[in-house]
Amino acid sequence: MATEESTPAQYLTFNLGAELFAMDIRAVREIIQHAAMTVVPMTPDCVRGVINLRGAVVPVIDLQSRFGRAPAVAGQKTCVVIFDAIQNDERTELGLMVDSVSEVIEIHPKDIELPPQFGTSIQRDFIRGMGKVKGEFIVILEPERALNIDDMVLAT
């Protein structure tokens, strides 16, 4: 019988510039095309605005900006990944603005290494691990840390 440690997990992969990232598919609710957003004053710089998703107000996070880079420029392939974030033991829907979505892949736990101590372009605690796929590494995000609303507010 397979245990959770020995079973491959599925990850949604997406691009930010030339870099490939992944997040656990179980947190992803849907992927929508980038569209106009309503800007909300006095929000952190990385919050691009909010969208109306079937009557719900969903904040959209610019992941490039969250990582301390220049704000993303929306292009033809720009998408918003809607996912569930856990904040203070409550589920919150957030949107994640990414340059493009690639595919869903499986990564076996034995192929995931700890984040490097140095040499990454984002905060180490934003990274769950480095997934090795076809000889390449993919940065697997830790959404509870990378997209923590309280941390984003403190960073402004």
What string of pLDDT tens digits covers the 156 residues of the chain? 444 567 899 999 999 988 999 999 998 999 999 999 999 999 888 999 999 999 999 999 998 998 888 999 999 999 999 998 777 778 888 999 999 999 999 999 999 998 877 655 556 667 889 999 988 899 998 877 666 666 655 555
> Which residues 6+ apart lie within 8 Å of 86 measured at CB?
92, 144
In 38-151, the DSSP E strands lie at 47-53, 56-62, 79-87, 90-98, 100-107, 112-113, 127-133, 136-141
Amino acid occupying residue 150: D
pLDDT score recorded for residue 122: 59
CB 48 within 8 A of CB 85: no
pLDDT score recorded for residue 40: 93
Q: What is the pTM of this model?
A: 0.82
Cβ-in-10-Å burial (0-12, 13-18, 19+) of 7 comes to: exposed
CB 21 within 8 A of CB 5: no
65/21 Cα distance (integer angstroms): 15
pLDDT score recorded for residue 135: 87
pLDDT score recorded for residue 85: 79
First-to-last alpha carbon distance for the chain, in angstroms, is 48
CB atoms under 10 Å from CB of 143, counted, come to 20
Tokens (6 digits) for 28: 């992803």
pLDDT score recorded for residue 2: 43
The residue with tokens 């830790």 is 142
Q: May I ask the CATH class of domain 4-154?
A: mainly beta
